[in-house]
């Protein structure tokens, strides 16, 4: 059964288990955004910490 798209969280990462496969949205009610940098200054410095790869 496909999970419900959360239209407040857009997502195009189809390799994530939380991606709504029929639409470019996340299915989680909220996500956690983090960084892998000490002093993030660019978009590339941020990460979706809620990402979980499909198995």
Q: Give the start-to-end residue ranges of the domains of the chain.
A: 6-48
pLDDT the model gives residue 3 = 82
Q: What is the pLDDT of residues 1-55, one digit of tens each?
A: 568 999 999 999 999 999 999 999 999 999 999 999 999 999 999 999 999 999 8
Burial 12-29 (b: 16+ CB within 10 A, else e): eeeebebbbeeeebbbbe
Q: Which sign does the torsion angle of CA 32, 35, 38, 39 carry?
A: negative
Can you give the pTM of this predicted structure? 0.85
pLDDT the model gives residue 2 = 64
pLDDT the model gives residue 20 = 96
């Amino acid at each position: 059964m496909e999970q419900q798209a959360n239209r407040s969280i857009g997502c195009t990462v189809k390799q994530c288990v939380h991606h709504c496969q029929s639409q470019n949205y996340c299915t989680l009610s909220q996500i956690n955004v983090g960084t892998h940098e000490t002093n993030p200054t660019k978009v590339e410095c941020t990460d979706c910490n809620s990402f979980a790869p499909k198995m």
